[in-house]
Chain A
């Protein structure tokens, strides 16, 4: 644990980052910048797993494993999302949310 820092302060920090990501997800109108906001949200939750593991259950490693899986799945998600975005750009030459109707239904 960090000397002199309680678990409340770290959880406050991650909560703030999570909701900044949520704000970005709600206001952005571009697919790539929405992906950036999702990365913020995922990272904030990964820190929570690690910090709760370290402060409350230091004998176990479950939080570390979950963070590893979150990082792996986030990387996979980013790769797939970017593949879809590039394909969409080839089809409609735009990555704005309002223009994406091609892949519906």
Chain B
């Protein structure tokens, strides 16, 4: 059962990822990306990390996609089709991607992983304790740094998007 669901998810993700990078209508490619992100949340659900799946749905599907759709609507006419890349650059890109993928897949398939059979699920409380612990394997410092980073990004985004005042 899980096998079938995983293969369906994988198929959906690969097909929509290809559509997202090749569709000539910009708004459609954003929606195709949304399907890929929801599929990734499905993978997180399948490995029992439900908190991470919820974060993925809330931040990506809820936040980033809405932000990108909003900016597409602001800067792009919906009826316009995007320029296609030239055949030569597309062939070069496909060749580079295939080369990289084959090297990576070769490295993965020849490496001998030793998976540990487990079906334990983690509680949200464990994640919270790990993020706020000072001890070994604690993540308090990056947690704090990321809060400062988010504040800086918020202020920076406002300042940059506001831009210069138009001269009268």
Contacts and interface: CB of A to CB of B under 8 A. Distances in A.
Interface string A25-62: 01111101101110110010011001100111110111
Interface residues of B, number: 85
Interface string B134-149: 0001010010001001
Interface residues of A, number: 73
Given A17-B14, A55-B116, A32 B104 contact: no
Interface of B: 1-3, 6, 10, 13-14, 17-18, 20-22, 26, 29-30, 33, 36-37, 40, 43-44, 46-49, 51-52, 55-56, 59-60, 63-64, 67-68, 70-72, 74-76, 82-83, 85, 89-90, 92-94, 96-98, 100-101, 104-105, 108-109, 113-120, 122, 126-127, 130-131, 137, 139, 142, 146, 149-150, 153-154, 156-158, 160-161, 163
Interface of A: 1-13, 15-24, 26-30, 32-33, 35-37, 39-40, 43, 46-47, 50-51, 54-58, 60-62, 64-65, 67-69, 71-76, 78-80, 82-87, 89-91, 95-96
23 contacts: A2-B6, A3-B2, A16-B17, A16-B101, A17-B36, A19-B101, A20-B14, A20-B97, A32-B26, A32-B71, A39-B60, A51-B43, A61-B126, A62-B137, A64-B49, A64-B122, A64-B127, A72-B149, A78-B64, A78-B68, A79-B67, A82-B70, A87-B161
